[in-house]
Amino acid sequence: MESIWRSRRFIWFATGNTGNNIGDALYAVVLPLFVYHVTHELGAMSVMTMLAMLPLIFAPVTGISVDRWGPGRLIGPALGVQIVAGSLMAVLAMEHSLPIGALYALGGILEVAGGIYRGSWMASLPQVFPGRAPQARAALGILYVATTLIGPFVAGLLLPQIGYVPLLWVNVASFVLPLLVMITGVSYPSPVSNTPSRSLFCVP
């Protein structure tokens, strides 16, 4: 069987997925530090770090929702919510008017929506890449580990150079990339279809 890495469709899918992973890895480092920068309180920083556990708490709900409505009906809205919440956070940070309560609320929304996105694309692999889901899952797993390791290192390099706000906007861009992939090349199945649908500008 031909390697999954030779599929342009998979490469395009992996590009969006990896971009999102990098954004998540940056976010995991930058946002707790940003909270400490704003509040100068380790307790507040710890609460923001704890919010990263919300996807685990909501995992059963995510699984039920994916089974009921299908990945295609959840991925777009989940990414849209992340874009809006991330943009609000970056704009408020630029205006220096970001109360700690708003930080917690937006951070929690980002985490829950991110969990829905991840659960949905993972569930979609057998339909998006029929007969090649194990290959796709393994390849994406390798990319996930690599970006999880690289992301904090990149954050450490960039934070002293460009500051918090630009990195918050990089996080927003990481939500836009998989949405762009979804629109231009790789769409997701609905519950009533066992074959991956194709967008107008499909990547074979």
CATH label of the domain that carries residue 67: 1.20.1250.20
144, 141, 170, 142: which is closest to 29 by C-alpha? 170
Whether residue 110 is contained in a domain is answered as yes
Place of tokens 């509040």: 39
pLDDT at 14: 93
Residue 76 lies in a domain: yes
Q: Which long-range contacts (CB under 8 A, 24 or more apart) does 60-69 make?
A: 62/115, 62/116, 62/119, 62/120, 63/119, 63/123, 65/116, 66/119, 66/120, 66/123, 67/123, 67/191, 68/191, 69/191
Whole-number pLDDT of residue 189: 61
pLDDT at 73: 84
pLDDT score for 194: 43
Question: Does residue 196 belong to any structural domain of this protein?
Answer: no
In a domain, 141, yes or no: yes
- For residue 172, what are the CA distances in angstroms to 41, 42, 129, 133, 138? 25, 25, 27, 28, 26
pLDDT recorded at residue 188: 66
**In a domain? residue 165:** yes
- Number of structural domains found in the chain: 1
Confirm whether 191 is domain-assigned: no
Domain encompassing residue 75: 8-184
Digitized pLDDT (tens) for each residue of the chain, 204 residues in all: 678 888 888 999 999 999 999 888 888 888 888 888 888 888 888 888 888 888 788 888 888 888 888 777 888 899 999 999 999 999 988 887 778 888 889 988 998 998 899 888 888 888 888 888 899 999 999 999 998 888 888 888 999 999 989 999 999 999 999 989 888 867 666 554 444 433 333 333
Give a yes or no: residue 156 inside a domain. yes
Specify whether the CB–CB gap between 146 and 25 falls below 8 A.
no
Tell whether 190 is covered by a domain: no
**Separation of alpha carbons 17 and 23, rounded Å:** 10
Residue 198 phi/psi, 5-degree rounding, is -125, 140
